[in-house]
Amino acid sequence: MNPNLNIKIGKVKLNNPVMVASGTFGYGQEFAPFISLRKLGAIVSKTVTLNPRQGNPAPRTCETPAGMLNSIGLENPGIEMFIKEKLPVLRKIGIPVIVSIASEKDPTEFIRLVKRLGNLSAVSAIELNISCPNMRHTRLISQDASATYEVVKAVRRQTTKALIVKLSPNVTSISDIALRAEEAGADAVSLVNTINGMSIDINTRKPKIAMVTAGLSGPAIRPIAVKMVWEVYNKVKIPIIGMGGIIDTDSALEFIIAGASAVSIGTANFINPRISVEVVEGIQKYMKVNKIVDIRGLTGSLQK
Amino acid sequence: MRKVQIAAKIISNKQLGQRYFKAVLAAAAVADKARPGQFVMVRPQTGVEPLLRRPLGIHNVCGRNIELLYEVVGPATGILSQKSPGELVDIIGPLGNGFCYEGRNTRGKGRPILVAGGMGVAPLVFLAEKIKKLKPLVLIGAKTKSHILCEKEFKGAGCDIKIATDDGSSGFKGRVTALLDTILRAPNFQLSNIYACGPRLMLEALNHIAQKYKILAQISLEEHMGCGFGACLGCTVNTVNGYKQACKDGPVFDAQEIIW
Ligand SMILES: Cc1cc2nc3c(=O)[nH]c(=O)nc-3n(C[C@H](O)[C@H](O)[C@H](O)COP(=O)(O)OP(=O)(O)OC[C@H]3O[C@@H](n4cnc5c(N)ncnc54)[C@H](O)[C@@H]3O)c2cc1C
Ligand SMILES: Cc1cc2nc3c(=O)[nH]c(=O)nc-3n(C[C@H](O)[C@H](O)[C@H](O)COP(=O)(O)O)c2cc1C
């Protein structure tokens, strides 16, 4: 018998627990030449803001040991253009579409964004990106437990859609923040966003990224992310979407065993555009070999 | 859909002196669709060091094979240079827009001029093959005589070649853009189109010259790329029409479109 890979995030049913991380999968079509997009559990779109954003100046990315820095700066066409041009194409894929949103200056923008998306049937769930390190904020919403609570609470009042809150690892206690998000009514938390980092060209003595600091992703951050998922799993009851450095089935399983109900693949999509579908197949195989009938039995199954 | 991800078999991988190599890969699905100026994202490594793919221009297409011309400058090109015939290399391509050498954009009826700086020769050989009939003039800029690449290939495509070296060890002594300037003074070249690839500073100088003579120049830009196929939004180029992506909207741009 085939193992059961179905999971639920709030009311949203996913055929399997593998999704693709915001900002690393374009709007899906970039990957259509390489995989059958329908095989994914869900797709999370690039974070969208109220107004179009052209993003940060170049250079925006550089490679670091087993990772990469990015400071894209949330380049996106703005919510109206997104709804008009990107959303219909995303919807056609036929899997749940999770729309990632962010505010630029004022957290009340989240309310306007959610109101705009709330009655669109193409939108399965909304991910609140309160953790992007590449906006010139002094402080992220997700670096402040009560600010997180306030924003999630305010947004929760506006929508019945599944709400996912994306957390920053650049905090002293991620589980405290996750708990507040849960209390405010989040249906799930996703973690981690990128870790703040910096890299210098010693010949020019210039930073390798124009904005100087940037977000680190890739295998380099995986142990940190796995630990954070485990820590949050021990504190909250809502599902966790785990990510940070997943590059193959084994690394995806690490997150699930640590406590993730679903996993999201980011940077690895750039290296192997087929990786997301390969991980779906890999998890299925692992479950068969280990006689696990339901993926939910694997979540948080860490042995002492 | 044109672009594919394939494990391409290495037919040959030969050192051309200095740290330059030429690899021939069996890649029919890429070869069939490739246009000059397009590139592939190669992953010669396994594991996570180095992590990302690397862009390399399509140097030429021969039947079902593609050729890559590359300089060993770091880990990925180093690993590629160690590969033997028969081994596989994971590639994605063909990517990017490529040079526009027919129709629109090619206003000039004069002889096309190809300007290469250093490794910039790589994509221009493929272009020279495609526009053979127009008898292109090729200007190659290199540090010294021993750094000059592809003379034979351009000759084979029936091009006239002029060389500029920094130290004067071959041809014109000085920058290839200075050589271009002297050539464009001759009126018969002023209806030409310029196609160029090389270091950014060279391309910027070339843009000034092209503007001075009111000649259209298409240039291929080298930006750091995360994915190469439009997903990461990493390879931003600042243009008069706003930010564009080198991997998708480029790597070939009209020189005058770039904010240098
Ligand atoms: C569209 C495109 C086509 C290219 N075509 C060719 C080609 O045909 N032949 C060839 O030899 N090279 C080409 N390059 C450059 C090539 O991608 C880099 O040399 C390669 O990525 C180096 O990888 P590495 O791991 O060996 O070295 P790394 O350690 O990654 O880099 C070594 C040095 O090269 C510099 N470098 C790396 N990537 C780039 C880049 N994209 N632009 C400028 N400097 C860079 C780094 O700053 C560093 O100083 C192309 C680049 C682009 C964007
Ligand atoms: C190029 C790039 C762009 C990203 N853009 C976004 C974004 O728009 N919104 C967001 O919530 N996260 C964004 N992220 C973070 C990823 O979604 C993910 O949380 C992070 O990269 C960790 O996962 P990974 O190591 O698998 O990449 C981006 C990451 C990268 C590398």
A85-112, pLDDT tens digit by residue?
999 999 999 999 999 999 998 889 999 9
pLDDT at B96 (0 to 100): 96
Q: What atom in ligand 1 is closest to the CA of residue B247? A: 1
Q: What's the A74 CA to ligand 2 centre distance in angstroms? A: 10
Q: What percent of chain A has pLDDT over 70?
A: 98
pLDDT at A137 (0 to 100): 62
Question: Can you give the residue ranges of every domain in chain A?
Answer: 7-57+76-198+218-297
DSSP E strands in A222-284: the ranges are: 240-242, 262-265
For ligand 2, is residue A269 a contact (CB within 6 Å)? no
In terms of CATH, what superfamily is A7-57+76-198+218-297? Aldolase class I (3.20.20.70)
Q: Which residues contact A269 (CB under 8 A, 6 or more apart)?
A: A20, A21, A24, A25, A31, A275, A276, B227, B231
Q: B231 at the A interface (CB within 8 A)?
A: yes
pLDDT at A138 (0 to 100): 63
What is the separation of C-alpha B190 from the centre of its chain, rounded to a whole number of angstroms? 23
pLDDT at A99 (0 to 100): 98
Alpha helices in chain B (DSSP H): 28-31, 75-81, 121-130, 151-156, 176-184, 200-212
Q: In this complex, how many residue pairs, one in chain A and one in chain B, have their CB atoms less than 8 Å apart?
A: 96
How many Cα atoms are found within 13 Å in the side-chain-facing hemisphere of A45? 33
Question: Can you give the residue ranges of every domain in chain B?
Answer: 4-95, 103-257
Q: What would the CATH number be for the domain defined by B103-257?
A: 3.40.50.80
Q: B72 at the A interface (CB within 8 A)?
A: no
What is the pTM assigned to this prediction?
0.95
pLDDT at B107 (0 to 100): 58
For ligand 2, is residue A246 a contact (CB within 6 Å)? yes
Q: A101, A132, A221, A279: which is the annotated catalytic residue?
A: A132
3-class DSSP assignment, residue A37: helix
The answer on pLDDT for A28 being more than 70 is yes
| Mean pLDDT of all residues belonging to chain A | 95
Closest CA to B148 of B131, B136, B135, B166: B166
pLDDT at B108 (0 to 100): 59
Which of B24, B48, B56 has most ligand 1 atoms within 8 Å of its beta carbon, as the pocket-test mutant? B56
Q: What is the DSSP string of A42-89?
A: EEEPPPB-SS-B--PPSP-EEEETTEEEE-----B--HHHIIIIIHHH
Check the CA dihedral B181-B182-B185-B186 and report its sign.
negative
Distances (CA, A) of B239 to A54, A58, B236, B256: 12, 12, 9, 9
pLDDT tens per residue, range B31-61 = 999 999 999 999 999 999 999 999 999 999 9
CB-CB under 8 Å, B236 with A55: yes
Q: B229 at the A interface (CB within 8 A)?
A: yes
Distances (CA, A) of A172 to A101, A190, B221: 24, 17, 42
> How far apart are the C-alpha atoms of B93 and B37, rounded to whole Å?
12
How many Cα atoms are found within 13 Å in the side-chain-facing hemisphere of A134? 27
Which pairing describes strands B113-117 and B20-26: parallel, antiparallel, or unpaired?
Answer: unpaired
CB-CB under 8 Å, A273 with B229: yes
> How far apart are the C-alpha atoms of B12 and A48, rounded to whole Å?
46
For ligand 1, is residue B19 a contact (CB within 6 Å)? no
Residue whose entry in the numeric block shows the structure tokens 């600010």: A147
> How much is the average pLDDT of A56-79?
96
pLDDT tens per residue, range A41-55 = 999 999 999 999 999
pLDDT at B111 (0 to 100): 84
Cis amide leading into B94 (omega within 30):
yes
> How much is the average pLDDT of A10-17?
97
Let me know: does B165 contact B144? Beta carbons within 8 Å: yes
What is the separation of C-alpha A31 from the centre of its chain, rounded to a whole number of angstroms? 17
Ligand approaching nearest to the C-alpha of B53? 1
Residues of A with CB under 8 A from a CB of B: 23-26, 30-34, 46, 54-63, 65-68, 70, 72, 75, 218-219, 247, 267, 269-274
Closest CA to A15 of A25, A32, A27, A2: A2
Q: If 0-12 CB within 10 Å is exposed, 13-18 middle and 19+ buried, where does residue B188 land?
A: exposed
Residues on chain A touching B52 (C-beta within 8 angstroms): 63, 68, 270-271
Residue A219, H or E segment: none
3-class DSSP assignment, residue B85: coil
Interface probe with A: pick from B3, B41, B227, most Cβ of A within 10 Å:
B227
User: What is the assigned CATH class of domain B4-95?
Assistant: mainly beta
> How far apart are the C-alpha atoms of A86 and A242, rounded to whole Å?
25
What is the separation of C-alpha B182 from the centre of its chain, rounded to a whole number of angstroms? 23
Q: What's the A231 CA to ligand 1 centre distance in angstroms? A: 40
> How far apart are the C-alpha atoms of B148 and A124, rounded to whole Å?
57
The C-alpha of B126 sits at a distance from chain A's nearest C-alpha, in angstroms, of 25
Which of B49, B61, B77 has most ligand 1 atoms within 8 Å of its beta carbon, as the pocket-test mutant? B77
Find the closest chain B residue to A57 by CA distance.
B236
Buried b / exposed e across A233-263, counting CB within 10 Å, b at 16+?
beebebbbbbbbbbbebebbbbbbbbbbbbb
CB-CB under 8 Å, A63 with B52: yes
> How much is the average pLDDT of A206-224?
97
CB-CB under 8 Å, A68 with B52: yes
pLDDT at B1 (0 to 100): 53
Let me know: does A165 contact A186? Beta carbons within 8 Å: yes
pLDDT at B103 (0 to 100): 63
Instruction: Collect the ranges in chain B with pLDDT lower than 50.
Output: none
Q: What atom in ligand 1 is closest to the CA of residue A203? A: 49
Let me know: does B55 contact B40? Beta carbons within 8 Å: yes
DSSP E strands in chain A: the ranges are: 7-9, 12-14, 18-20, 42-44, 61-64, 67-70, 97-101, 125-129, 162-166, 188-191, 195-198, 200-201, 206-207, 213-217, 240-242, 262-265
pLDDT at B17 (0 to 100): 83
Residues on chain A touching B53 (C-beta within 8 angstroms): 270-271
- In this complex, the residue of A54, A63, A273 whose CB is nearest that of residue B243 is A54
Residues in chain A: 304
Instruction: Count CB-CB contacts under 10 A for residue A285.
Output: 12
> How far apart are the C-alpha atoms of B32 and A180, rounded to whole Å?
56
Distances (CA, A) of A211 to A58, A201, A206, B200: 8, 14, 11, 21
ipTM > 0.90 (yes/no): yes
Let me know: does A298 contact A262? Beta carbons within 8 Å: no
